[in-house]
Every structure is written in C-alpha cells, then in structure tokens.
Amino acid sequence: MNKNSGEVSIAQSVASLAQGECAEVSFLGGGKIMTQRLAMLGIRPGVTICVLHGPGGRGAVLRVGGTRVALGRGVIEKILVNPEIRTRPSEAAE
C-alpha cells in the first residue's frame, strides 16, 4: 500500500499500513469506551504494533506485545500511527 510514503509526516491510520509492517501508535481516535478497550489489550500511544493479517474490509489482526488482537474496520481507521517510526517486522520484534 503506502510502503514508500515514509517521508510524509502526516499521521496515518493502521488501515494504511501493509501486511507485515510495524509502526508506533501515536493517537487513538474514537470514543472513550473504544479507547479503554484498546488500552486494556495493550494498544495505546507509544506502543509498537505489527499487522499480521489484513488490513482489509474486515479490519486487521495486529500483534501487540505477545498477543494477537483482531480489530474491525471501523476501529483500525481510528488508530493513528507515526509513519516516521514505521519499521519492518524483523526490526520490531521487541
């Protein structure tokens, strides 16, 4: 998808990452309940997430910490990532 757009420093959503890519979460949009639920599963600003599956119409499966988390399309569009700190999966394994 937008693999080569790293120089654009506008925050992008998880939906714009490609499968296998990792990035640091910069901001959680959406309501209070969604933000809380994401935080409980370890998805919060400053954390590195990797896309294991998708993103697609369904949403995406992310790896965060040691777990996989499945998120609907509406959710991944509201999770913004910092494209500057985007890395390939091999560099991001902890």
Q: Per-residue x/- marks for another protein, 20-39, CB under 8 A?
A: ----------x-xxx-xxxx
Is the Cβ–Cβ distance between 62 and 50 less than 8 Å?
A: yes
DSSP E strands in 11-88: the ranges are 12-13, 22-28, 48-53, 59-64, 67-72, 79-87
Beta bridge partners of 12: 81
For another protein, the closer CB: 77 or 82: 77
Does 90 bind another protein (CB under 8 A)? Our answer is: yes
How distant, in Å, are the alpha carbons of 2, 4, 77 from that of 43?
22, 25, 14
Query: Smallest gap, in angstroms, from Cβ of residue 36 to another protein?
Result: 3
Candidates 13, 42, 82, 85: give the one binding another protein (CB under 8 A).
Answer: 42
Beta bridge partners of 72: 59
Does 18 bind another protein (CB under 8 A)? Our answer is: no
Residue ranges binding another protein (CB under 8 A): 30, 32-34, 36-42, 44, 52-54, 56-59, 61, 63, 65-75, 90, 93-94
